[in-house]
């Protein structure tokens, strides 16, 4: 099976978000970057599918030249081929989906399954995978936490508050993955070395109509915090029990 | 007219839908337009009448045997059909997994932009000005939404539901959709009940949550014991699930579960924004951390500074003493 996994480079923020002066992005001068958590699991899933069923895995990202780092990370986890759709800044969902669709159509390889993250960690648009599926005429199942393949079909499990929903679709198909489907591996040293040498296919897409036009980002006001220190170490136990009592929990 | 998508499952309307209707009702009134709803399923007519209480004046009712199981693309086909016939100024869903999914299908089918999880919407002549959630709500984006009609979903968790004063029963407009096999291809073929062992994270009055500071899978034994003493559930941070110490089902945060217990006890968790969005709904937060400067400590209501491996056993001993 030939699997494509689409990932996005996002900053790894800590406890506080600082914006750039033009309010268009998170100031990432002192931050590292990673694929979003859902996508990291999608990479792991792609690698596991290929290990089980044979075939190949390809990782694709739309983003700046620096996103090569996330492609190589995917390769270090075991992905075979890498594609960069190089842009200068973040694109909204519509042009992103158009560019990914065009890039898939331009590949000689015909993928059996396209994996996306259920939603990007940063923008959270909830739509790129679905748009690509429609453009390619493929079925799409979202929010997947378990995926099995059998003779040209896939059984996909989606978790809801009311339990698991089971879907069955013919391939090729699109799946949007959620964290929890697997525990992504840490790249091995040989994996990292191999990833460094991978050739990256570069495409320069055209943005066109944006549809949803970002004006600026805003950090919402933090709720006022007024912490009461109950004490230090084991000696704080009586105060803690007092609190539990006040809250009616003991 | 604004057309709203009514989300329901197994005969019950998703409660957040009423928050969305509360928000959108004002929007429709401002524009001097009506508030319509679309209700899709096999046996859903009974859900229509109650929508009047939330200001809905007409329900486009699509009832068909083939729609007995949830089929996102077929739902979208129904929405697009009503859109074509009724020409609403906007189509609005609620910002849940399901409605975001259906609305994304609608957007893809009509090649229109979609703004997911909006917190505020301001109609303007051409593009609408929206404020939407990013990073699970820890960052907001102000944006212009183009296209005709406007497609959006409303983040409704924080909205206080209000009924409409003159809630009379809405007019029912039956629609017979033209669904193809392709529309119905992706549908729920079966369901598996959630595995229930003990009290669930979202129902528990107390969540005892552990982070990297717990140190190991075995380290969670004391957290489990404390949770059991308090009739609570165990939660954890992403570092913990990534290390394989606990299952992902217990992860609290942006890519995990959001909880709102009476008390959230954060043990050895630093308080990154992606974790914080999952626990900030708690009535009270108690942080146990060696670092008095950790954001979890400074943002919490109460904190104990110290090693959780000493603090938790001491706390349990004190509770046992109380219980005699
Ligand atoms: C897109 C994205 C999504 C994410 N989604 C989530 C999510 O859903 N949930 C989530 O949790 N994280 C999420 N994260 C990760 C998040 O950013 C943090 O990395 C993570 O929450 C940190 O986990 P932690 O607090 O356990 O570990 P750390 O940040 O390492 O903190 C450990 C804390 O333990 C304290 N400590 C250490 N030893 C002890 C001890 N013996 N006793 C008491 N205290 C001790 C330390 O002082 C420190 O404060 C996400 C990240 C990204 C980029």
Please report which helix (H) or strand (E) contains residue B117, including its range.
Answer: strand B114-122
What does the pLDDT average to over B242-263? Answer: 96
Fill in the DSSP letter of residue B46.
G
Query: Considering only CA atoms, which of A10, A35, A22 is closest in space to residue A217?
Result: A22
Query: Considering only CA atoms, which of B209, B169, B321, B264 is closest in space to residue A237?
Result: B321
CB contact under 8 A, B108 and A218: no
Res B310 pLDDT > 90: yes
Residue A39 is predicted with a pLDDT of 98
Q: Where in chain B is the domain with CATH 3.40.50.1220?
A: 206-323
Report the complex ipTM: 0.96
Q: Which tens digits make up the pLDDT trace of B67-103?
A: 999 999 999 999 999 999 999 999 999 999 999 999 9
Which burial class, exposed, middle or buried, applies to B278 when counting CB atoms under 10 A from its CB (0-12, 13-18, 19+)? Answer: buried
Tokens of A240: 């803690």
Res B288 pLDDT > 90: yes
Mean pLDDT for all residues in chain B: 96
- Which whole-number Å values give the CA distances from B78 to A126, B28, B38, B187, B247, in the listed order? 20, 22, 9, 15, 38
Res B195 pLDDT > 90: no
Please report which helix (H) or strand (E) contains residue A133, including its range.
Answer: helix A128-136
User: Which strand ranges, in their side-by-side order, compose the sheet holding A173-177?
Assistant: A200-203, A81-86, A56-63, A2-7, A113-117, A173-177, A140-150, A153-160, A163-170, B188-192
Q: How far is A11 from chain B (nearest CA, A)?
A: 11
Give the pTM. Answer: 0.95
Asked if B30 and B120 count as a contact pair (C-beta separation under 8 A), the reply is: no
Which of B215, B235, B239, B247 has the most ligand 1 atoms within 8 A of CB, as the residue to mutate? B239
Q: Which tens digits make up the pLDDT trace of A95-142?
A: 999 999 999 999 999 999 999 999 999 999 999 999 999 999 999 999
Tokens of B43: 């046996």
CA A171/CA A174 separation, integer angstroms: 9
Q: Which residues contact B27 (CB under 8 A, 6 or more apart)?
A: B2, B90, B121, B123
Q: Helices H, strands E: what count in chain A? A: 6, 13
Residue pairs between chains A and B whose CB atoms are closer than 8 Å: 262
Residue B296 is predicted with a pLDDT of 97
Q: Which tens digits make up the pLDDT trace of B260-283?
A: 999 999 999 999 999 999 999 999
Q: Which of A66-70, B48-52, B165-169, B231-235 has the lowest mean pLDDT?
A: B165-169
Res A161 pLDDT > 90: no
Query: Which residues are registered as beta bridge partners of A183?
Result: none
Q: Helices H, strands E: what count in chain B? A: 8, 17
A248 to chain B: nearest residue by CA?
B262
Res B172 pLDDT > 80: yes
B161 φ/ψ angles, rounded to the nearest 5 degrees: -70, 130
B79 φ/ψ angles, rounded to the nearest 5 degrees: -60, -45
A214 to chain B: nearest residue by CA?
B143
Which CATH architecture is the domain B206-323 placed in? 3-Layer(aba) Sandwich (3.40)
Q: Quickly state the pLDDT bin for A88 (edges 50, 70, 90).
A: very high
Residues 119 through 138 of chain B touching chain A, CB cutoff 8 Å: 127, 129, 131, 133-138
DSSP string, B9-34: ETTEE-THHHHHHHHHHHHHHHTT--
Q: How far is B37 from chain A (nearest CA, A)?
A: 22
Fill in the DSSP letter of residue B292.
T
B104 CB within 8 Å of a chain A CB: yes
- Which whole-number Å values give the CA distances from B10 to B7, B63, B100, B186, B264, in the listed order? 11, 14, 19, 18, 31
Residue B165 is predicted with a pLDDT of 79
CB contact under 8 A, A241 and B322: yes
Res B194 pLDDT > 90: no
What does the pLDDT average to over B239-261? Answer: 96
Query: Considering only CA atoms, which of B114, B94, B108, B110 is closest in space to residue B6?
Result: B94
Q: Which tens digits make up the pLDDT trace of A57-86?
A: 999 999 999 999 999 999 999 999 999 999
Atom from ligand 1 closest to the CA of residue B291 = 47
**pLDDT exceeding 90 applies to what percent of chain B?**
93
Q: Quickly state the pLDDT bin for B167 (edges 50, 70, 90).
A: confident
B123 φ/ψ angles, rounded to the nearest 5 degrees: -65, 135
Residue A209 is predicted with a pLDDT of 92
CA B208/CA B223 separation, integer angstroms: 6
Instruction: Provide the domain count of chain A.
Output: 1
Res A224 pLDDT > 80: no
Atom from ligand 1 closest to the CA of residue B253 = 8
Tokens of B53: 């209480």
Quick check: bond before B149 cis, omega within 30?
Answer: yes
Q: How far is A18 from chain B (nearest CA, A)?
A: 10
Comparing CB atoms, the residue among A134, A166, A240 nearest residue B108 is A134
Alpha-carbon torsion (B261, B265, B268, B269), positive or negative:
positive
Which superfamily is assigned to B2-184 in CATH? HUPs (3.40.50.620)
Residue A130 is predicted with a pLDDT of 98
Supply the range of the domain harboring residue A135.
Answer: 2-246
Residue given tokens 């626990």 in the structure block:
B279
Q: Quickly state the pLDDT bin for B324 (edges 50, 70, 90).
A: confident
Q: Which of A155-159, A192-196, B27-31 has the lowest mean pLDDT?
A: B27-31
Which burial class, exposed, middle or buried, applies to A233 when counting CB atoms under 10 A from its CB (0-12, 13-18, 19+)? Answer: middle
Residue B275 is predicted with a pLDDT of 97
How far is ligand 1, taken at its centre, from the CA of residue B113, in Å? 35
Residue B66 is predicted with a pLDDT of 96
What does the pLDDT average to over B129-142? Answer: 96
How far is ligand 1, taken at its centre, from the CA of residue B300, in Å? 15
Res B198 pLDDT > 90: no
Q: Which residues contact B88 (CB under 8 A, 6 or more apart)?
A: B1, B2, B3, B36, B149
Asked if B56 and B36 count as a contact pair (C-beta separation under 8 A), the reply is: yes
Residue A14 is predicted with a pLDDT of 82
Asked if A20 and A130 count as a contact pair (C-beta separation under 8 A), the reply is: no
CATH of the domain at A199: 3.40.50.620
CB contact under 8 A, A230 and B303: yes
DSSP string, B73-93: HHHHHHHHHHHHHH--SEEEE
Mean pLDDT for all residues in chain A: 96
B217 CB within 8 Å of a chain A CB: no
CB contact under 8 A, B192 and A163: yes
CA B136/CA B256 separation, integer angstroms: 11
List CB contacts (< 8 A) between A143 and chain B: 97, 101
CB contact under 8 A, A167 and B186: yes
Q: Where in chain B is the domain with CATH 3.40.50.620?
A: 2-184
């Amino acid at each position: 099976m030939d699997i494509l996994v689409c990932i996005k480079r996002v900053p790894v923020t800590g406890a506080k978000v600082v914006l750039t002066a033009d309010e268009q992005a998170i100031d990432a001068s002192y931050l590292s970057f990673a694929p979003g958590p859902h996508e990291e699991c999608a990479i792991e899933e792609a690698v596991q599918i290929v290990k089980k069923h044979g075939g190949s895995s390809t990782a694709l990202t739309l983003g700046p030249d620096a996103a090569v780092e996330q492609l190589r990370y995917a390769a270090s986890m075991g992905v075979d081929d890498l594609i960069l759709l190089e842009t200068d800044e973040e694109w909204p969902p519509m042009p992103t989906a158009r560019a990914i669709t065009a890039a898939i159509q331009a590949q000689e390889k015909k993928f059996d399954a396209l994996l996306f993250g259920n939603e990007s960690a940063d923008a959270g648009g909830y739509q790129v995978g679905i748009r690509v599926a429609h453009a390619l005429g493929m079925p799409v199942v979202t929010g997947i936490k378990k995926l099995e393949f059998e003779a040209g079909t896939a059984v996909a499990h989606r978790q809801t508050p009311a339990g698991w929903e089971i879907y069955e679709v013919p391939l090729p198909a699109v799946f949007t993955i959620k964290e929890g489907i697997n525990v992504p591996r840490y790249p091995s040293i040989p994996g990292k070395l191999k990833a460094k040498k991978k050739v990256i296919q570069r495409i320069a897409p055209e943005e066109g109509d944006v549809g949803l036009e970002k004006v600026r980002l805003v950090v919402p006001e933090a709720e006022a915090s007024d912490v009461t220190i109950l004490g230090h170490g084991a000696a704080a136990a009586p105060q803690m029990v007092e609190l539990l009592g006040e809250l009616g929990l003991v | 007219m604004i057309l709203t998508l009514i989300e329901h499952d197994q005969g019950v309307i998703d409660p957040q839908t009423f928050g969305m209707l509360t928000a959108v009702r004002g929007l429709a009134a401002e524009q001097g337009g009506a508030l319509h709803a679309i209700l899709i399923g096999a046996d859903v007519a009974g859900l229509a009448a109650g929508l009047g209480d939330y200001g809905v004046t007409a329900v486009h009712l699509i009832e068909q045997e083939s729609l007995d199981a949830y089929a996102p693309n077929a739902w979208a086909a129904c929405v697009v059909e009503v859109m074509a016939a009724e020409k609403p100024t906007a189509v609005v869903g609620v910002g849940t997994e399901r409605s975001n999914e259906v609305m994304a299908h609608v957007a893809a089918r009509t090649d229109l932009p979609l703004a997911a999880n909006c917190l505020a919407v301001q109609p303007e002549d051409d593009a609408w000005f929206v404020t939407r959630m990013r990073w699970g709500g820890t960052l907001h984006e102000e944006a212009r939404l183009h296209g005709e009609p406007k497609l959006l979903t409303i983040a409704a968790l924080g909205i206080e539901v209000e009924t409409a004063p003159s809630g009379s029963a809405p007019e029912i407009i039956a629609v017979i959709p033209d669904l193809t096999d392709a529309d119905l291809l992706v549908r729920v073929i079966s369901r598996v009940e959630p595995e229930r062992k003990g009290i669930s994270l979202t129902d528990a009055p107390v969540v005892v949550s552990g982070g990297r500071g717990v140190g190991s899978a075995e380290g969670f034994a004391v957290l489990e014991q404390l949770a059991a003493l308090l009739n609570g559930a165990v939660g954890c941070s992403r570092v913990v699930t990534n290390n394989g110490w606990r299952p992902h089902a217990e992860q609290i945060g942006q890519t995990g579960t959001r909880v709102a217990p009476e008390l959230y006890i954060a043990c050895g968790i630093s308080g990154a924004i992606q974790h914080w969005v999952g626990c900030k709904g708690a009535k009270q937060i108690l942080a146990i951390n060696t670092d008095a400067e950790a954001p979890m400590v400074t943002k919490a209501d109460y904190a104990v500074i110290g090693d959780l491996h000493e603090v938790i056993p001491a706390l349990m001993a004190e509770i046992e003493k109380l219980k005699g």
